[in-house]
Amino acid sequence: MSRKIDKRLLQTEAAIMEAGTRTLLSNRSAGMAEIAEAAGIGRATLYRHFKTREALIKKLVLDCYEEFDAAYAPYLHLEGKAAIQRVFEIAMQMSHRFNFLFRRWSLVEDDKDLQRLDDSTQDEMSYLFDQAKDAGDIDKHIPNAWLIAFFDSLLVSGCTLVESGDIDAEQAANYAMRSFFDGCGRKG
């Protein structure tokens, strides 16, 4: 019996997560009642899983990071340019999740746990940029703060175009990589 209950709880939470992402992407100010309705559950059930709207949004953001980390795990051996290219490819394949992260980050940006996670991600990207600079794939004179901002803007642009159906994930990754390395690559 407990396995059946556990399975139902997991299915309910998955429905909440999907509905939360979809609903908050389409309506930034959507409340818990709207999210519960979209998930096909009652508000009381939603509140049993998440005490507040902020707790749900935080969980959605954390899940995006965790989903990316799981997708990237087989590629941890990559360095520099190859690693950066793989980040673009995975992010574009997860455009729905990344669009949520980009558009809703401001709702939880003051959360200290999430800020530490974001800082850690930026540190990891800086490390990859340094490796690419050492290999001559990125101009060593471009500051990492600029590279991070440019990289993030390419992710936002690509994921937005994938979600709108204007291009597919593979095209978005290729355009982003080309833009990034042509724009920031070491010049003869």
Reply yes or no on whether the pLDDT at 103 is more than 90.
no
Q: What is the pLDDT of residue 2?
A: 56
Q: Which of 58-62, 100-104, 123-127 has the least mean pLDDT?
A: 100-104
Q: pLDDT class for 46, splitting at 50, 70, 90?
A: very high
- State the residue for tokens 């940029």: 129
Burial 83-99 (b: 16+ CB within 10 A, else e): bbbbbbbbbbbbbebbb
Mean pLDDT, residues 55-84 taken together: 92
Residue 42 phi, psi (nearest 5): -85, 160
Q: What does pLDDT average to over the chain? A: 89
Residue 175 lies in a domain: yes
Number of domains in the chain: 2
Q: What is the pLDDT of residue 161?
A: 94
pTM comes to: 0.82
Residue 169 lies in a domain: yes
Please indicate whether residue 14 or residue 1 has the higher confidence score (pLDDT): 14
* Domain of residue 140, CATH code: 1.10.357
Reply yes or no on whether the pLDDT at 188 is more than 80.
no
Percent of the chain residues past pLDDT 90, beyond the cut: 57
Q: What is the pLDDT of residue 1?
A: 47
44 and 81 belong to one structural domain: no
- Which residues are CB-neighbours of 167 under 8 A, at least 6 positions away? 158, 161, 175
Q: What is the pLDDT of residue 181?
A: 96
47 and 65 belong to one structural domain: no
For residue range 128-141, list pLDDT tens digits in order: 999 999 999 999 99
Residue 139 lies in a domain: yes
Q: Which domain holds residue 16?
A: 1-51
CA dist 31 and 44 (Å) reads: 13
Residue 56 lies in a domain: no
Residue 110 lies in a domain: yes
CA dist 68 and 62 (Å) reads: 10
Q: At what angle do helices 169-184 and 144-164 cross, to 10 degrees?
A: 160
For residue range 147-172, list pLDDT tens digits in order: 999 999 999 999 989 988 999 999 99
Q: 144, 130 in Cβ contact below 8 A?
A: yes
Q: 185, 119 in Cβ contact below 8 A?
A: no
